Structure 1
Amino acid sequence: MASKRQFAVLGLGRFGISAALTLENMGYEVLGADMDAGIVSTLSEKLSHVVSFDMRDARAMDQVGIGSFDTVIIAAKNLEASLMATMLCKERHVPEIVVKAIDERHAEMARSLGATKVIFSERDMAKRTVMHLVSDNAVDYIDIDANIKVIKVVTPKALVGKNLLEADLRKQFNVVVIAIRHGSEVFVTPSPTYRFAAADCLYIIGTEASLASFEQSF
């Protein structure tokens, strides 16, 4: 059996704590790190490992074995600390380096230093909020790439009883249903003859514009 992925979260502000605790609750082993010893103390019984150190310190990074982690999430508020941590993780061949960026300039520098994924927590939350405001059906909204998104929607009334062939969403809106949750069952790449039920959750992929067109039509 493959061993579970190991995660490190550097920077335990609101975002970092939320990410670390979520991973811990999902059963993953998590290292949390922050310069603030008080924050570290409050999390000592909630995370597998939590330490206080300066993420800009190469020796400290080596002492916690940062190179052995599969994914490092860098959530530092300080730009210098974030960029230095990104570079040190890259030098230690961390496979996945996720950086919470302050702005586009930060994101660009993080990518150039080795970040494999950049997130903007406030911006992404704003997008999810707007999607909920403008859609009666949207349950969630996920960024895949700069212009490719996945939305999770409850089946629109106009589609109930139709199958995928009859709905022909690819032709009409240039979107694709990639999965359907029907009760406790999940159908990945569902059959073209599957008929939508009222309580189904549909996972639909497309560009931001095509998904907006789909939403507006229903």
Structure 2
Amino acid sequence: MKKSFAVIGLGRFGGSICRTLTDEGMEVLAIDVNEERVNEFSMIASHAVVGDSTDETVLKSLGIRNFDHVIVAIGDDIQSSILTTLILKELGVSRVTAKAQNDYHEKVLRKIGADHVVHPERDMGRRIAHNMTSSNVVDYLELSDEHSIVEIVANGKIGGHTIMDLDIRKKYGLNIVAIKRGEDIIVSPQAGEMINVNDVLIVIGTDNDIDRFEHKVME
């Protein structure tokens, strides 16, 4: 079933979300106070309107509570971001994702009911830095402040050994949730699964445990 989304704030972050959701075939309402930005997205989103999201009557008139998910992607105006999020939750929007500028902003957003808070610039910076500092890491995704999921290319140190031999869970507290081998993906691999050199291991765990594994085994 097609889900409906509303994206408030059409800067780089909000605009990217709007385009991607539209490409995925979702119904998207794009909202911004800037008429020029709205005109840009009028041919992209299902609907695009000029509106002040800090005005409760505007959001009510758009039927905002009927959307499955609302993304507050307002840029530098922290006050507008907080007020918009508060109004959305008071109007009964079931799921609100909000962009935070800093940790304090995130705390406030969570206290007023945001279901999910993202730090796109910070998280992307961490992701790029992590990839740059390890030649074996293919991709890195932060799940929380302490947990991540990474794709690590198996080198000669672990290639030719089974998961049981390596005992990664006991030694490092990590779980191998899948293995990419060429075009194949092995989901929830068994303990006896042999790891080949150049296999891509999809590993989940705390950031500290992932770092220990990378430094002691992969380098």
TM-score (norm 1): 0.92
Partner residue in 2 for 1:130: 129
* 1:96 positional shift: 2.0
Q: Superposed, which structure 2 residues align to 1:1-218 within 5 Å? A: 3-77=1-75, 78-217=77-216, 218=218
25-34 or 168-177, which moves further after superposition?
A: 25-34
CA–CA separation in structure 1 for the residues paired with 2:155 and 2:2: 38
Q: Deviations over 1:29-87 (max 9, x none)?
A: 22211111101111111222221111101111112221122221111121121111111
Give the RMSD, CA atoms, in angstroms: 1.5
CA–CA separation in structure 1 for the residues paired with 2:135 and 2:179: 18
Q: Deviations over 1:150-198 (max 9, x none)?
A: 1122223322232211121112211111122233333322222222233
- Evaluate the alpha carbon distance shift between residue 191 and residue 25 of structure 1 in structure 2; reply closer, same or farther with a 3 A threshold: same
**Counterpart secondary structure, 2:212:** helix
Give structure 2 stretches of 5+ with no counterpart.
Answer: none
TM-score (norm 2): 0.92
2:210 is aligned with what amino acid?
Answer: L
**Counterpart secondary structure, 1:159:** coil
* 1:132 positional shift: 0.8
Alignment length (residue pairs): 216
- Evaluate the alpha carbon distance shift between residue 198 and residue 95 of structure 1 in structure 2; reply closer, same or farther with a 3 A threshold: farther
Q: After the TM superposition, which segments of 4 or more aligned residues of structure 1 sit over 6 Å from their partners? A: none
CA–CA separation in structure 1 for the residues paired with 2:159 and 2:130: 22
Identity of aligned residues (%): 33
1:97 is aligned with what amino acid?
Answer: V
CA–CA separation in structure 2 for the residues paired with 1:136 and 1:196: 18
- Evaluate the alpha carbon distance shift between residue 156 and residue 20 of structure 1 in structure 2; reply closer, same or farther with a 3 A threshold: farther
Q: Tell me if structure 1 keeps the 8 A contact 2:155–2:198.
A: no
1:185 is aligned with what amino acid?
Answer: D
* 1:18 positional shift: 1.0
Give structure 1 stretches of 5+ with no counterpart.
Answer: none
